[in-house]
């Protein structure tokens, strides 16, 4: 999904250089993320993983620092339920993505487009 983060998220994201200036109402660039969970899904957040409805998400550990060595603000560990009208987002490169693991759910009204891959790369050698 392409999402325009708003309010405090846009402000902190822009200040830290995560969100360049762009066309969103917050004057930042939209983020491109996968939807990890939707309304009524159950999220379990731990230091080393995120689980959705009891299934651990691959490569979902939450580093404590960003690539610049700055501490990352994180929502509390534990159990969360996604509220109606919200989604949880996960970056396509989770090891270095600033996403819902840190800032929690975002309103579905912030979603501006559905993104579909044109090409995918499995990492396997062609035969």
pLDDT tier at 125 (50, 70, 90 boundaries)? low
Q: How far apart are CA 33 and CA 100, in angstroms?
A: 10
User: Which residues face 84 on adjacent strands?
Assistant: none
**Residue 23 tokens, joined:** 């066309």
By the 8 A CB rule, do 10 and 24 touch?
A: yes
Tens-digit pLDDT profile for residues 3-15: 999 999 999 999 9
Predicted local confidence at residue 124, as pLDDT: 55
Name the most confidently modeled range: 60-64, 92-96, 108-112, 114-118: 108-112
- 3 state SS of 89: strand
pLDDT band at 121 (very low <50, low <70, confident <90, very high): low
Which H or E element spans position 10? helix 7-15
CB 106 within 8 A of CB 87: yes
Task: Count CB atoms within 10 A of the CB of residue 90.
Answer: 20
Average pLDDT over residues 67-91: 93
pLDDT for 47 equals 87
Q: Provide CB contacts within 8 A for 69, sequence distance 6+.
A: none
Residue 122's pLDDT is 66
Q: What is the pLDDT of residues 35-77, one digit of tens each?
A: 999 999 999 999 899 999 999 999 899 888 998 999 998 899 9
User: What's the whole-model pTM score?
Assistant: 0.84
């Amino acid at each position: 999904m392409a999402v325009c983060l708003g309010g405090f998220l846009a402000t902190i994201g822009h200040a830290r250089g995560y969100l360049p200036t762009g066309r969103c109402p917050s004057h930042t660039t939209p983020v491109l993320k996968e939807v990890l969970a939707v309304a009524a899904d159950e999220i379990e957040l731990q230091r080393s993983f995120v689980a959705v409805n009891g299934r651990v998400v691959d490569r979902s550990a939450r580093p404590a620092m960003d690539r610049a060595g700055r501490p990352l603000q994180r929502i509390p560990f534990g159990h969360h339920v996604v509220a109606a009208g919200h989604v949880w987002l996960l970056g396509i490169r989770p090891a270095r993505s600033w996403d819902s693991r840190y800032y929690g759910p975002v309103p579905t009204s912030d979603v501006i487009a559905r993104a579909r891959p044109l090409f995918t790369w499995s990492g396997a050698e062609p035969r």
